[in-house]
Structure 1
């Protein structure tokens, strides 16, 4: 059963960009907010729950107990909204709960399947390739949209950038950011022959697409992923020379050249132009203010804390301040179990679009602690294994997959649209499950390396 369900899960990763394109087509045509992407993802999540209940996964009992605790916390959240919150948009509340729990259930599902397949099939390489193919489809579709002149703009107003045929630019940027280190890993592990450049194509398409998107997240992800690869390559060559053999210098040189090209392109990139535009808008806004301190600051061309928040968070800190004020005035039950979707709004709900903050205010102190517990457990487990077996962890696979997770969670904290967006959350869930299971074998890797050293040093 695990093998068949595993094939379904790998196929599910492959079709993600197709679901996103179908969702975009539905939303652009105005056929409704309940899209085919949401329907398929809901069905996959339901299948994951059923699998977890009937599988032979060793941690199944712990997952069932956690599921009951999480269900109780969500039940209390709904009951609190019924009693204290008016008005309430129950459709949006339900969608938010589904979207927020999606990544978690899929992480449990992939972890269970990967643990069952571990040692039986090369599931890790298949997972890498499925994500890489999905990223190739995403990048190629954006290139095709640009070539045909049918690409949609990333922004509605002054800022520049394009997002291909996709709908949500923020989600698209997060997806490609999380996927880029994985495509780099596949390229670095490519065969040492003329065809190896073909394996770099998905990475080049993603870099092209992320830079053209025009978001700070897109540019930052490219810079961070390439820099991480530049660090990972010599580390693996030093501690695991068998893996890279003789091509690690070529890979390092190619990656460094890509980073240099990105740096040279930076002043002309849409992201840099958008930052300059944002700065000019701040200047225009503040020129209308009378206080001399602001006038002097503009003359000196310096940034204060508020302006830095504007540039980095794109005014999200203003909505954060509003939610904090609402939370301080909220009843004790809402402080414990949350104010629900959008907080205690009067007319229209408005999210901060910073996932961890949105989840905290929506689920409350107790609800948030229950919600975030699996993520903390998985990260601590991965980190503990890496510290105990640091030599084995110093390889490109562990470093680049960890950087994908770090990018995903970092974007969730700063810009949102990750843990509350199923299209993005699936990739983070798969990679968390991937590294969680792979980290269990770090001890074997390190012990095997030690034994190999002993054998090589023993005289014949």
Structure 2
């Protein structure tokens, strides 16, 4: 069972990479008015295994007090879920079992997976696996988001971020605000990982992925993603300047990195007036 705990912990970390694909497939199927989508089915299967994983993790770690609390939480969650279904069945004139079960599953998915990731990261931290591979996982996940966004943009199949304004794009992802939040959280990690990998100019292709991520984030048209780009790039410039003074053996290369970051930040400001985020900001200001 300890082997299962380790392998499933690694699976949960790698599962992050596939989230953009599941979200894109779910978005396309939801746009086609399909209630139960492929992404939902996959997530529900993972959630079911994660519940089993959490219980096994607690049993093996023998933290009886903590384990009792978690098991009690699952029992209460199950009771509340059943009560919710019964109330909806009695109160709603039109009760669609598939839709109700899907909605309920989505509601319990997040607390269960959050708890699962807490234990998975705790397990992986012991061997420092999380330190070595988690930034790479985030890097690849954001790259997949960028590719999906750009393909949707140039094929004119992207969803509108703000349907009532027809401004901004969310690619094939269903919710622009959630997408913006994900990009905002992940972008600084992506920048850090790319800079760490650029040890010489032959690996500059890592920075090209950052440019694509910036372009994709600006397509969303939300202020959150724009602020994340500006904050992440400014922090990278500050870190690069500090590294320039600390590492005297590679002054020329480090100076080039600072210039590269400065050009990137300048490019964001130059592109801002032409991007959807500038128009949505103006509209929001007018509304206020």
- What aligned pairs does 1:192-231 form with structure 2 within 5 A after superposition? 192-231=199-238
SS of 1:260's partner is: helix
1:36 partnered with 2:43: no
Q: Write the distance in 2 (CA, Å) between the matches of 1:106 and 1:94.
A: 18
User: Is contact 2:168–2:221 with CA below 8 Å preserved after alignment?
Assistant: yes
TM-score by length of 1: 0.52
Task: Provide the rounded CA distance (Å) in 1 between the counterparts of 2:214 and 2:262.
Answer: 14
Does structure 2 conserve the Cα–Cα contact (< 8 Å) formed by 1:57 and 1:112?
no
Provide closer, same or farther for how the CA distance between residues 230 and 63 of structure 1 changes in structure 2, counting only shifts above 3 A: farther
The number of residue pairs the alignment matches comes to 278
Q: Which has the higher contact order (CA 8 A, sep 6+)?
A: 1
Instruction: Give the alignment's Cα RMSD to 1 decimal.
Output: 3.5
Q: Does 1:267 align with 2:270?
A: no
State the partner residue of 1:276: 282
Of the three residues 24, 27, 40, the one matched with 2:30 is 27
Question: Structure 2 CA distance, aligned partners of 1:60 and 1:268?
Answer: 58
Spell out the pairing of 1:304-319 with structure 2 (5 A cutoff).
307=288
Distance 1:80 1:114, change over 3 A: closer
- Alignment-derived partner of residue 254 in structure 1: 260
Distance between the aligned counterparts of 2:189 and 2:108, measured in 1? 24
Residues 190 and 179 of structure 1, relative CA distance in 2, 3 Å threshold: same
Question: Could you say which residue in structure 2 is the equivalent of 1:104?
Answer: 111
Aligned ranges 1:414-425 → 2 under 5 Å: none
Report which of the two has the higher share of helix.
Answer: 2
| 1:128 and 2:135 aligned | yes
Q: Is the 8 A contact 2:36 2:102 kept in 1?
A: no
Partner of 1:65: 69
Q: Look at both structures and tell me which one has the larger radius of gyration over its CA atoms.
A: 1
Q: Tell whether the 8 Å contact from 1:214 to 1:270 is kept in structure 2 after alignment.
A: yes
2-side partners of 1:237 and 1:123: how far apart?
Answer: 28
What stretches of structure 2 of length at least 5 have no aligned partner? none
CA-CA distance at 1:73 after TM superposition: 6.7
Q: Which runs of 5+ in 1 are unaligned?
A: 283-306, 308-460
Give TM-score, length-normalised by structure 2. Answer: 0.79
Matches within 5 A, 1:233-252: 233-234=240-241, 248-252=254-258
Relative to structure 1, the CA distance from residue 258 to residue 61 in structure 2 (aligned partners, 3 Å threshold; closer, same or farther) is: farther
Structure 2 residue matching 1:211: 3-state secondary structure: helix
- The secondary structure found in structure 1 opposite 2:173 is coil
Match of 1:154, SS state, is strand
Q: Report the CA distance shift for 1:90/1:147 in structure 2 as closer, same or farther (over 3 A).
A: closer
